[in-house]
Structure 1
C-alpha cells in the first residue's frame, strides 16, 4: 500500500539511532512484518496520518518478527512513553488502529503528556475502540 512513504528500519543500530536522535517529537515505531495483513492495514493508517502529525511526531516501521503483530511503541526524547489503555499492558498498542483519527488522537495525547513531563498518559479513545487482547505467558 502506502508504507513505502515511511522510513523502514531493519537493524538494531538503526532503531537505537532514531530513538536517540528524535528530539522534541513523539517517535512512533511500528514493529512487525510488512507482509502481515494487520501490518499493511496499520501502515496505511500511519502513512495517511504522517502529514497531520508531522509537527509533533515522526513515524518509522521496524521490520522484524515479534509476538504481537503489529505492535506500535512510542518514545519521546529517548524515553519510552506508555499509555493506560485500561489493559494490563501499557507499553504498546497491539494490532491496528480502527481509523486514522484514532491514531492522531493517541499520538497527540502522548505528545501533550510528554510536554508536561509525564511518562504515562491516559488513552483518549473510548473503550470500544481500544483493542482487547490477553497476555499469554509461556512456561509460567
Structure 2
C-alpha cells in the first residue's frame, strides 16, 4: 500500500514568503487551489503520494487561494485556473515549456504520480545547471490542455 504524506497548507503571505526564501538547494512545489475542488483533490493525492519519493530534492506545499492574505500571489502568478502549480529553486521562479503559451506554472492535475515525479526531476536537474526554464519531459498527450484566457486582448 502507498503511504500518503500530509502536505502543509499555507494560508498567509508570510508563510509563502518564508517557504520560498527558506527552501534552499531543493525544488519548491506550490500547488495553488482549494481543498474543496475535485481536480485539486486529484492533484493533492498525487502530490502526497509522491512527496516521500521526491523529498531529497523537492518540498511540496499547498496554497489556499481563498485566503485573503494570499491574493498578492494569486494576482502575481495570474492564477485564473485551478489547480495551478508553481515551482521555485533557491527563491528563483522556475519556468517550464510544456508547449502552452504560459511557461510560469503547470495548470491542472497530472495524469499519474510518475508524470509529476518526472516533471519535478526535470526542473530540479535544470535548476542545478543554472537554468530558469526547462522543457517539459512529458509527451504532449500527458499535458493538460487549457484555453488560456487573455484579458484586455
* TM-score normalised per structure 2: 0.87
- The correspondence for 1:128, drawn from 141, 144, 147, is 141
Shift of 1:67: 1.3
Partner of 1:57: 58
Distance 2:123 2:147 in 1: 23
Segments of 5+ residues of structure 1 without an aligned counterpart are none
TM-score by length of structure 1 reads: 0.95
Q: CA contact under 8 A between 2:51 and 2:60: conserved in structure 1?
A: yes
Q: Is the 8 A contact 1:3 1:43 kept in 2?
A: no
- Counterpart contact for 2:33–2:63, Cα < 8 Å: yes
Contact 1:3 1:40 in 2 (8 A): no
What secondary structure sits across from 1:5 in the alignment? coil
- Segments of 5+ residues of structure 2 without an aligned counterpart are 67-78
Compute the displacement of 1:3 (Å). 7.8
Q: Number of matched residues?
A: 139
Other-structure match for 2:98: 85
Return the alpha-carbon distance in structure 2 between the equivalents of residues 19 and 78 of structure 1: 5
